[in-house]
């Protein structure tokens, strides 16, 4: 196929001819394939079932209409020793890329200039594997045109968390593609804070080999921004994958997470806590495929909404034939602080094995009047009591974070966010 630039009418560019020309062999192949996938699938439309509760318009249109604003989430982890990787206006600051033991850090630009690179087996591959049964064409667009990203190759136990912090100002349209390879028995924690752009389309592909451990902690804040994130994960035998996201700002957020459990005795957890106030739409879309024996998966999502904020959860567990002894857990709950806010949930289980335990639940509720009275009767003013109840409500999601110190950081950030509003 000729490497010409292709745009959809009024929308996203699906191909970047200049980028393809300048890419090394592996990246060129990945980008062309992704561009073809996006072309074939078409961009998401309002009538798509998969986008039923969240309008894709903001992610699809060519114009970025918002201004990025500063966020405070970096300070949250200031007390921790981390390996800091920074992005400015969607661009990785590669001159300042740090080094750390048991891993290598590179920029996508330098990796894709090479004809051969380890990322070849992951970049666009996990994204492509995540295109069924529903198409996530904006992720393919990302693979096709992304120029920015971190390539992290983890070969042992990395002591300090790798911390990506992104800052942006103005109407930046950021397309970021990060790739992480965790070797057998290796371990790493990734922290993501800040925002890549006023509008962001991000893909994170993570390949966790047998016995590897990957921990992901993410804080999404900011005022005006549109954010679409995708995580594509492949998890090997006895490996662990845990991702937690705190969303405490932004007008529109859609977090997609597609995980495949391919080795026996693997364990994954995807959790999120979100605080929505006013003009706020937050969507968690999760798809977990069990394709091995004796694996555990957990989805824990808690949303606290007020002043007309909207929360969405679409979560699915697919247990393939032969994936016996699967232990699947899925809970999505919202605390609606007023009558104007809403929560839309679509939990799904699809099971083709006969020796499986899967539980799921979804609830929406108002604040417990008796608990509120209990707190107030101790002298805690109503607004502060509601904040305490909010912390109480999201606690189960935060408990999914394994590292107690990082969990405390998240709790502190949440407490600060609450007391600032």
Binding residues vs another protein (CB under 8 A): 368-371, 373-382, 384-385, 388-389, 391-396, 398-399
Nearest approach, Cβ of residue 63 and another protein (Å) = 42
Nearest approach, Cβ of residue 369 and another protein (Å) = 7
Nearest CB to another protein, comparing residues 95 and 369: 369
Cis peptide before 133 (omega within 30 of 0): yes
The Cα–Cα gap between 93 and 317 comes to 38
Q: In whole angstroms, how far apart are CA 125 and each of 26, 99, 133, 215, 286? A: 11, 26, 16, 21, 18
Nearest approach, Cβ of residue 412 and another protein (Å) = 12
Nearest approach, Cβ of residue 273 and another protein (Å) = 11
Nearest CB to another protein, comparing residues 78 and 377: 377
Instruction: Give the strands of the sheet with 91-92, arranged side by side.
Output: 91-92, 83-88, 162-167, 187-194, 213-220, 240-247, 267-277, 296-306, 326-336, 356-365
Nearest CB to another protein, comparing residues 142 and 245: 245
Nearest approach, Cβ of residue 255 and another protein (Å) = 22
The Cα–Cα gap between 246 and 240 comes to 20
The Cα–Cα gap between 173 and 168 comes to 10
Nearest approach, Cβ of residue 417 and another protein (Å) = 16
Alpha helices in 103-187 (DSSP H): 108-113, 125-129, 137-145
47 Cβ neighbours under 8 A, 6+ residues apart: none
Nearest approach, Cβ of residue 373 and another protein (Å) = 5
Nearest CB to another protein, comparing residues 87 and 393: 393
Nearest CB to another protein, comparing residues 54 and 390: 390
DSSP code at position 264:
T
Nearest CB to another protein, comparing residues 342 and 415: 415
HSE, CB side, 13 Å, CA atoms: give it for residue 44. Answer: 24
Nearest CB to another protein, comparing residues 258 and 398: 398
Cα torsion 157, 272, 371, 277: sign = positive
- Least Cα distance to 390 among 306, 308, 279 occurs for 306
Nearest approach, Cβ of residue 394 and another protein (Å) = 7
Nearest CB to another protein, comparing residues 239 and 385: 385
Q: In whole angstroms, how far apart are CA 413 and each of 97, 209, 391, 410? A: 26, 32, 11, 5
């Amino acid at each position: 196929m000729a490497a010409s630039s292709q745009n959809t009418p009024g929308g996203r560019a699906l191909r970047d001819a200049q980028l393809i020309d300048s890419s090394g062999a592996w990246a060129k192949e990945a980008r062309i394939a992704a561009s073809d996938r996006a072309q074939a699938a078409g961009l998401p439309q309002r009538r798509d079932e998969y986008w039923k509760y969240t309008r894709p318009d903001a992610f699809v249109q060519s114009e970025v209409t918002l201004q990025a604003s500063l966020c405070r989430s970096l300070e949250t982890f200031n007390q921790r020793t981390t390996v800091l990787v920074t992005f400015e206006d969607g661009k990785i600051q590669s001159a300042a890329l740090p080094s750390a033991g048991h891993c290598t850090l590179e920029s996508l630009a330098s990796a894709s200039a090479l004809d051969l690179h380890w990322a070849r087996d992951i970049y666009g591959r996990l994204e492509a594997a995540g295109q069924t049964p529903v198409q996530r064409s904006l992720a393919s667009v990302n693979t096709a045109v992304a120029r920015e990203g971190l390539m992290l190759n983890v070969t042992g136990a990395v002591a300090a968390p790798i911390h990506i912090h992104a800052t942006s100002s103005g109407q930046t349209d950021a397309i970021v593609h990060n790739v992480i390879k965790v070797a057998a028995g290796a371990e790493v924690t990734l922290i993501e804070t800040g925002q890549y752009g006023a509008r962001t389309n991000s893909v994170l592909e993570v390949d966790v080999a047998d016995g590897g451990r990957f921990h992901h902690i993410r804080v999404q804040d900011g005022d005006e921004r549109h954010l679409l994130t995708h995580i594509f994960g492949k998890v090997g035998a006895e490996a662990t994958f845990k991702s937690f996201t705190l969303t405490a700002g932004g007008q529109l957020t859609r977090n997609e997470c597609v995980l495949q459990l391919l080795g026996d005795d693997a364990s994954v957890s995807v959790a999120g806590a979100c605080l929505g106030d006013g003009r706020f739409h937050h969507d968690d879309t999760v798809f977990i495929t069990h394709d091995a024996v004796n694996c555990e998966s957990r989805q824990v999502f808690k949303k606290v909404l007020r002043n007309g904020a909207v929360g969405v959860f679409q979560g699915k567990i697919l247990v393939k034939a032969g994936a016996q002894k699967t232990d699947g857990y899925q809970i999505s709950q919202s605390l609606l602080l007023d009558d104007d806010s809403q929560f839309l949930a679509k939990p799904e289980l699809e099971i083709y094995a006969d020796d499986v335990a899967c539980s799921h639940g979804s609830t929406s509720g108002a604040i417990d009047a008796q608990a509120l009275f209990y707190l107030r009767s101790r002298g805690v003013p109503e607004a502060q009591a509601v904040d305490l109840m909010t912390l109480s409500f999201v606690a189960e999601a935060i408990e999914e974070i394994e590292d107690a110190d990082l969990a405390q950081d998240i709790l502190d950030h949440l407490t600060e966010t609450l007391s600032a509003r």
